[in-house]
Structure 1
Amino acid sequence: MKNKFLKLSGILIFMFGIIASTVYHTTTREDILWLDFVLGTITGVGIGLTIALIRKATS
């Protein structure tokens, strides 16, 4: 159950990052670079690992 929650939260955080990046670049009329997707992935993975480690340390 915990793994499903972590996977789901990681996917949601990643999707939020991609949507936020797309909205930002659309409103500023800048080109979307692949770097944005890479940074969004790294951020999503980092937050997912942080949540996993915090939950593991408290249990």
Structure 2
Amino acid sequence: MSPGTGEVYAPYGLDDVALGYLRPNSKNLQPDLFHQKATSYQSRWPWYGPFSPVHMARA
């Protein structure tokens, strides 16, 4: 989000947010760190659905 403008940078859109999908950063793959963060996010925001390799793949 750009400070003061309300603009959001979302190069892949916001569908994943609406669907509750979590995906790793494809430019910095760190599976252990992703799992740790995803578990933390799910404990705070339970609507984030289960993540799986199917959800983690980016077309």
TM-score past 0.5 threshold = no
TM-score (norm 2): 0.34
TM-score (norm 1): 0.34
Larger Rg: 1
